[in-house]
Each structure stands twice: as structure tokens, then as C-alpha cells.
Amino acid sequence: MNSSRHKLLFMLLAILASPPNALADTASKHAIEAAFLYNFALFTQWPNLAASNSFNICVLAENPFGAAFERLGEKRIENLPVHTRIMRTPEEAVNCHILFVPASGHRAMRNIANTLQDTPVLIVSEVNGYNPNDVMIMLGEESGRVNFQINHSATQRAGLKVSSKLLRLARRVY
């Protein structure tokens, strides 16, 4: 792993270790979640990524991250510019590398998972009442800290390779 990835891993660890009061503000929670999306991208490998013109981080229906989501567009993944997009339907998300499904999309989670089941799209959402097998990474919060769980078998079925370092940081891997 190169030194910039080491720095990002340490940054992610610092976020996870931050004091509970750091997430008291919803805006800062969303900024941290947006940073998690970027870090998930850094520690995941996509098939045929070199053939892409951009790295697409998408949200379904609405952007809960605000300006933090827009700032992801200033970043790069594997030397590709990051494009942020809001998708209206799961079918539009087939060109995304990461798809975040906010709480408003949870009722459609089964349809989203079925639509994207054979595509290398990393589906991320917040822990909620849907079937956790429909999501690859679930963001949660415990004691005021953002954490995540990884459905490793779902990422593998999609042809994605999640770094062992990211797997070790997960609260739960299944």
C-alpha cells in the first residue's frame, strides 16, 4: 500500500476513534459518512476500472450529504476523476461504482439489489429495517460514532475485492 493510502487509513481510524460528541451535529455526521464513501472506494477494487473515464459515486433519489457530497468531486480514485451523481432509479445506477441509498430509498432496497445484482456496484446504506443481505456496506452509529458492517459475500458476488484492512475496520463482516 502506498503512503497516501496509509495516511487515509489512519484518517479513517481517527474518525472511528473520535469522541462521541464529534457526531452530535447531523451535518458533521453526513460529512463523515461522505468521507467513508471515499475511503470505501480507496480500499475496494473494481473489475475493469482502468477502462472507465471517471469514478462515479452516486446517491439514489436525494443527497443527504449536502456539500460534502459535492466535494467528493474534487477527489481522484485510481487516477480517475470522481463524479458525483444523483440517480432517480436503480436502473440508472448501473454506471455507478458506489451507490448510496438514503433512508428514503429503503422501501425499494430489494428492487435495487435485484437490479444491480450482476453489476460491480458497491451498494452502501444506513442500517435500517431492510434485509441486510441486499446491501454490501451498512453505515451505523453507536455511542455517537459512525461504524460500518460489510456483507463480504455480496461484494465478492459483484466481483469487488475489499481490502483486508477495510474488513478489519468493520464492526461486523458477514
CA distance from start to end of the chain: 25
- Position 23 scores a pLDDT of 43
Q: Which three cell numbers stand for residue 114?
A: 435485484
In the chain, domain spans: 3-173
The answer for residues whose C-beta is within 8 angstroms of residue 25's C-beta and 6 or more apart is none
Q: What are phi and psi of 140, to 5 degrees?
A: -140, 180
Give dist(CA 105, CA 85) in Å, integer.
Answer: 16
- Position 106 scores a pLDDT of 80
One-letter amino acid at 19 equals P
pTM here is: 0.85
- Position 59 scores a pLDDT of 97
- Position 133 scores a pLDDT of 80
CB 84 within 8 A of CB 58: yes
- Position 45 scores a pLDDT of 98
Q: Residues of the chain whose pLDDT is less than 70? A: 1-27, 129
Select 3-173's CATH number: 3.30.1490, 1.10.3470, 3.40.50, 3.40.1710. 3.40.50
- Position 57 scores a pLDDT of 98
